[in-house]
């Protein structure tokens, strides 16, 4: 198993989160700890670069939905960018395109920045 790596970069008005590896159940606690600090900063936009993510567990998807709830409650947006086909398929199967803006590239997600 390829443990998930998390890279957080400030962007204008928000945060870029680059995830690589596998978003397994064991990586969710570490990610949720990072989410607390990001949510507290009340960003206007959070862009997830998921190009390097090869697997997502359902627990990870649930954590992402909970994180989105906190960001939206504070008037922000969450965008998912550059997903590999298997990961995008998992998100679409769960009908998460109704909650998240899913865009083909990180550049497209950043260009849509308010």
pLDDT tens-digit profile of 31-70?
Answer: 999 999 999 999 999 999 999 999 999 999 999 999 999 9
Using alpha carbons only, how large is the chain's radius of gyration in Å? 13
Residue ranges of the alpha helices (H) in the chain?
Answer: 28-40, 58-73, 85-93, 106-111
Structure tokens at 101: 């803006």
For the structural domain made of 5-111, what CATH number should be given? 3.30.750.24
Q: Could you state, in order of their start, the residue ranges of all structural domains in the chain?
A: 5-111
pLDDT tens-digit profile of 64-109?
Answer: 999 999 999 999 999 999 999 999 999 999 999 999 999 999 999 9
- The model's pTM is 0.94
């Amino acid at each position: 198993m390829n443990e998930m790596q998390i890279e957080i970069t400030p962007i204008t008005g928000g945060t870029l989160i680059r995830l690589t590896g596998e978003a397994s159940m064991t990586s969710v606690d570490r990610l949720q700890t990072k989410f607390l600090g990001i949510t507290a900063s009340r960003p206007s936009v959070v862009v997830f670069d998921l190009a390097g993510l090869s697997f997502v567990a359902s627990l990870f998807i649930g954590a992402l939905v909970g994180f989105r709830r906190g960001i939206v409650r504070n008037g922000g947006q969450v965008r998912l960018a550059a997903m590999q086909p298997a990961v995008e398929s998992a998100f679409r199967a769960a009908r998460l395109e109704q909650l998240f803006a899913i865009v083909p590239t990180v550049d497209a997600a950043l260009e849509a920045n308010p």
